[in-house]
Structure 1
Amino acid sequence: MRNFVVLAFVLLIGIQAEAQVKVSPGLRGGLNISTLSNIDDNSSKTDFYVGGLVNIKFNRFFSVQPELNYSRQGDEGRYFENGRYYSEKYELNYITLGAVAKFNFNGGGFHLLAGPSLDLKVSDNYINTKPEDYDLSFVGGVGYTLPNGLTFEARFKQGLIDIYGYDGIDDGYYYDQVILNQVFQLGISYTFKTK
């Protein structure tokens, strides 16, 4: 009988906790301003990202948001050939699997966010070199969510793996020479109301 009471108590608490968690699917998209670190004469490239999300709200102060996105990154490089400079946009396009933790101030719309992202390369336009097929990134940012579920966010995404696989020690390279993805994102998202 005692085991039954304990089991019923645990189930009741689990059901009560489940009732407080709110899960809302959504869509997101926006502007990418990307570059690659430690490359001379390069500039940022403007492109886009688009994807989906699931916002898991534990209470009015904290939620976790898994995300699946298509993100067009890279940079615009310059090279010298036949006596003149040329520019070319270098494409690094990823499917990103991420999860950000969102901290709402006073339970309101303004929030800070941070979390990891695993980026799987789906295409690139590099001719003489072959960039890595994946990247691990860290995302941080701020945002504001309106009561109707529309959210505006600014994020910075820092890659942690050299696009050519150098670890900063081998092959005569140092940490200040590794080439990392860096992306500033401005975007909107919408989470659908669920009952």
Structure 2
Amino acid sequence: MKKILLLAAVAVMGLSAQAQEFRFGPKAGFAMSTIKIDDKQDDLNDRKMDPKYTFYIGGMAEYKFDDNFGVQAEILYSQLGGKEKIEETDGSGMYFGFQNKVTFGTLLVPISAKYFITEGLSVAAGTNFGIILSAKQKTVIGTNLPIGVEIDGVDGEGERDIKNEIKKLNIAPFVGVEYMLENGLFFDARYSFGVSNLSNDGSGGKITNSFAQVGVGFKFGGN
């Protein structure tokens, strides 16, 4: 009986070891980022900036516990943010407008749990821990007024550092889907929901950053 139990235990451990799988590799892709602003001191409450289109690049590591469940961790870099354009005209033909583009240079650390529907197709849910390394706002002012116009220290066109006005950590839960070919090439898509208030100016307003990502990568390793 002891021999039978020992053989059974060895067999189970062997199957378990065979099911476990570690893969790693590079990934890169396209990102669409938006910023939502709830400025308590502004009439434009709950306004959403237009999408900023950018790229991301980095690497990933995946560990499968069995045929259906696994975990994944990544390190990515992306210049997230948003942009907006405001224009005003009157009946006399006077025109005034400006464009703002906000860029957050962000180091992303996504950690997720994965469920494998088939060997190649999986869905994931997790959290993106974004570390904002830099924050800049570029403003372009346009007008046909005969006098110069200056807003927030920007005359005509300029860029300013807003890192002190933005918190360093952007926590964003996400859901996603991935499909991997037999050779290790994979394609994925996910959406990260901005829940962290990034405003650090003490005005009581709220700034959140959400973003979608579509990418491609390659996994090395496996059984």
**TM-score (normalised: structure 2):** 0.70
| Whole-angstrom CA distance in 2 between matches of 1:31 and 1:128 | 25
Equivalent residue number for residue 133 of structure 1: 168
The one-letter code sitting in structure 1 at the alignment partner of 2:79 is: R
Larger CA deviation: 30-39 vs 44-53: 30-39
Structure 1 unaligned regions, length at least 5:
1-8
Matching residue within 165, 185, 193 for 1:150: 185
Q: Is the 8 A contact 2:31 2:212 kept in 1?
A: yes
Offset, 1:171: 5.8
Q: 1:41 to 1:102 in 2, by over 3 A?
A: closer
The one-letter code sitting in structure 1 at the alignment partner of 2:186 is: T
| Whole-angstrom CA distance in 2 between matches of 1:151 and 1:102 | 14
Equivalent residue number for residue 148 of structure 2: none
Extract structure 1 runs of 4+ deviating beyond 6 A.
9-16
Structure 2 unaligned regions, length at least 5:
1-7, 38-45, 89-93, 138-159
Q: Is the 8 A contact 1:26 1:55 kept in 2?
A: no
Which is richer in helix? Answer: 1
| Whole-angstrom CA distance in 1 between matches of 2:101 and 2:212 | 17
Q: 1:163 to 1:26 in 2, by over 3 A?
A: same
Offset, 1:115: 0.4
| Whole-angstrom CA distance in 2 between matches of 1:32 and 1:115 | 18
Q: Is the 8 A contact 1:41 1:78 kept in 2?
A: no
Residue 113 in 1 paired to residue 124 in 2? yes
Offset, 1:95: 0.8
Q: Alpha-carbon deviations, 1:149-175, whole Å to 9, x = none?
A: 111111101122111159xxx9655xx
Report the 3-state secondary structure (helix = DSSP H, G, I; strand = E; otherwise coil) of the residue aligned with 1:162: coil
Equivalent residue number for residue 198 of structure 2: 163
Offset, 1:194: 4.1
The one-letter code sitting in structure 1 at the alignment partner of 2:181 is: L
Which is richer in strand? Answer: 2
The one-letter code sitting in structure 2 at the alignment partner of 1:84 is: F
Equivalent residue number for residue 67 of structure 1: 74
Q: Is the 8 A contact 1:132 1:164 kept in 2?
A: yes
Equivalent residue number for residue 36 of structure 2: 37
Matching residue within 93, 99, 122 for 2:105: 93
Q: Alpha-carbon deviations, 1:81-140, whole Å to 9, x = none?
A: 9942222321011111121112111x3322211101211111111437421111111111
Offset, 1:64: 0.7
Report the 3-state secondary structure (helix = DSSP H, G, I; strand = E; otherwise coil) of the residue aligned with 1:179: strand
Q: Alpha-carbon deviations, 1:40-60, whole Å to 9, x = none?
A: 362000001111111101122
The one-letter code sitting in structure 2 at the alignment partner of 1:99 is: I
CA RMSD of aligned residues (A): 2.9
Equivalent residue number for residue 154 of structure 2: none
Q: 1:17 to 1:50 in 2, by over 3 A?
A: same
